[in-house]
């Protein structure tokens, strides 16, 4: 069992930066692939970034590639999402997700079993 708690959301102007963190509890974190998803207002949840269990493999949605960076610290049981050059269209609730997986990190939400409660990110123009 893994419990996830996101933090770091807030209001930022376009062009600014935010760093989201996800703290995980449970002994299996280091065996988990981790992902970040977001759900804009009135839209479906969408994939943002994923990182494999070791941290050596990452993947990104085209919409955030080059602006967002996912990382993890298995010693601290945390995964982070550094978001730079934020745009108004990045406004959404951001969710951290995890799944016990020692292969390539999944990029679809139905492949993740553990979810955080979400944190709001609002980017003003």
**pLDDT averaged over the chain?**
96
- Residue 115 has what pLDDT? 97
Smallest Cα–Cα separation from 64: which of 101, 109, 17, 1? 17
* Tokens describing residue 69: 């960076």
34-62 burial, b at 16+ Cβ within 10 Å, e below that, comes to bbbbbeeeeeebebbbbbbbeeeeebbbe
* pLDDT tens, residue by residue, 90-120: 999 999 999 998 889 999 999 999 999 999 9
10-36 mean pLDDT: 95
- Residue 1 has what pLDDT? 81
């Amino acid at each position: 069992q893994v419990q996830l708690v996101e933090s770091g959301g807030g209001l930022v102007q376009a062009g600014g930066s935010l760093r989201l963190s996800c703290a995980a509890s449970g002994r299996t974190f280091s065996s988990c692939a981790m992902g970040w998803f977001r759900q804009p207002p009135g839209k479906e949840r969408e994939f943002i970034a994923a990182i494999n269990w070791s941290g050596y493999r990452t993947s990104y949605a085209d919409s955030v590639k080059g602006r967002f960076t996912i990382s993890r610290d298995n010693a601290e049981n945390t995964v982070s999402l550094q978001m730079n050059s934020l745009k108004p269209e990045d406004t959404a609730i951001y969710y951290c997700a995890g799944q016990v997986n020692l292969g390539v990190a999944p990029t679809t939400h139905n492949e993740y079993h553990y979810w955080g409660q979400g944190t709001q990110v609002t980017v003003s123009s």
